[in-house]
Amino acid sequence: MDRRQFLNSSILGAASLAVTASGASLLTSCTPTEKKLEVPAPELRLSFQERTAPGESLNERLDYMESMGIVGFEPGGRNLAGRVNELQQALSGRNIKISAICAGFDGFILAEDPAVKAQFDSTMRDIIAAAGELGSTGVIMVPAFNGQKPCMPHTLDTREFLCEQMHELGEYALKHNTTVILEPLNRREAHYLRQVADAAAICRDAKSEGVKCMGDFWHMQEETSDYAAFLAAGKEYLQHVHVASRARRIMPGEDGEVDNYVEGFRALKQLNYPYYVSFECGTKGDRKQTVAAAVELLRTQWEQA
């Protein structure tokens, strides 16, 4: 066994021990008859963004989603407060919940210009409050895109500032029964935050249960292991997942063999991940065919994981 194999088997062993331990503690707290009950298998809860499903109107797209067993919906955050009623009505009586809210604020949290930072503070808080009304798991945010300037320098002081600011946002989100979700991207789009474990460390250091993170399979080209990335965030911090094809960010499956999510899914299953895997991608093909094929591919790979 070489070092790599040893490390892999050690990580696997530790993870399966963790799963066994939580299963055991669950069983010991049960009555004797309940002991016979099996813990249900982790479910793949798929979610679509606003333009993922084919259809002309929101209702047509939601009808399509329901027919496909898609249980989450991830709208953009722009003008969310003005859309709460529309979205509540559209989802009423359906087996679809708001999964997360995708950004939509003005400004950015690491802006050097106080006016731009103030724009972020007020618009983000409006979105968080609306997200809470809609029962969202959280509001997704990126600390700074490469194109957003002037930006605070990437220093230890900036990280401390970010943790303090995230603490405040997280506490505000908790008051509204939701969270803020840090999304790592990749160095071409946002050099500041590129890896899931780094985002999870910021969550830890922000010291608020309202600060969470996510992984996006497309951006996760920066990771050496999808499996290790999700496990590093773990149950405590991993709140959302985005999925797309892995070369061109179109529908899973449209990039062929590179569209492999099995290792990431294996981590999600081991974590008993209770949240959503949400499509964030376009398509080069006929949407009716590529969306259906992508859903089937992900379900097949979830079974394989």
Task: Please identify, among the stretches 144-152, 162-170, 262-270, 276-284, the one whose residues bind Mg ion according to the rule CB under 5 A.
Answer: 276-284
Length of the chain: 305
Assign 3-class secondary structure to 133-189: HCCCCCEEECCCCCCCCCECCCCHHHHHHHHHHHHHHHHHHHHCCCCEEECCCCCCC
Token pair of 266 as six digits: 């294996």
Could you tell me which stretch among 6-14, 200-208, 261-269, 274-282 binds Mg ion (CB under 5 A)?
274-282
The nearest distance, CB 102 to Mg ion, in angstroms, is: 8
**In the complex, what is the shortest distance from the CB of residue 242 to Mg ion, in angstroms, rounded to a whole number?**
4
Q: Quote the tokens at residue 304.
A: 């394989």
- Name every residue whose Cβ is closer than 8 Å to that of residue 245 and which is 6 or more positions away in sequence: 218, 251, 252, 253, 254, 255, 258, 259, 281
Q: How far apart are CA 251 and CA 261, in angstroms?
A: 13
Picking from 209, 218, 193, 186, the residue whose alpha carbon sits closest to that of residue 142 is: 193
Q: Compute φ and ψ for 121, nearest 5 degrees.
A: -55, -45
In the complex, least distance from residue 32 CB atom to Mg ion, rounded to whole angstroms: 46
Q: Between 167 and 249, whose beta carbon lies closer to Mg ion?
A: 249
Residue 70 vs 142, nearer CB to Mg ion = 142
Q: Which of residues 238-257 bind Mg ion (CB under 5 A)?
A: 242
Q: Tell me the closest approach of the beta carbon of residue 246 to Mg ion, in angstroms.
A: 13
Window 201-220: residues binding Mg ion (CB under 5 A) = 216
Distance of CA 201 to the CA centre of its chain: 16
Look-up of token digits 């798929």? 46
To Mg ion, the closest distance from the beta carbon of 244 in angstroms equals: 8
x/- track of binding to Mg ion for residues 163-182 (CB under 5 A)? --------------------
Of the pair 226, 280, the CB lying nearest Mg ion is at 280
Q: Is 280 in the site for Mg ion (CB under 5 A)?
A: yes
Per DSSP, 23 falls in state H
CB of 77 to Mg ion, least distance (A): 13
The span of 153-161, 170-178, 188-196, 234-242 binding Mg ion (CB under 5 A) equals: 234-242
Nearer CB in complex with Mg ion: 120/218: 218
- For Mg ion, the binding residues (CB under 5 A) are 216, 242, 280
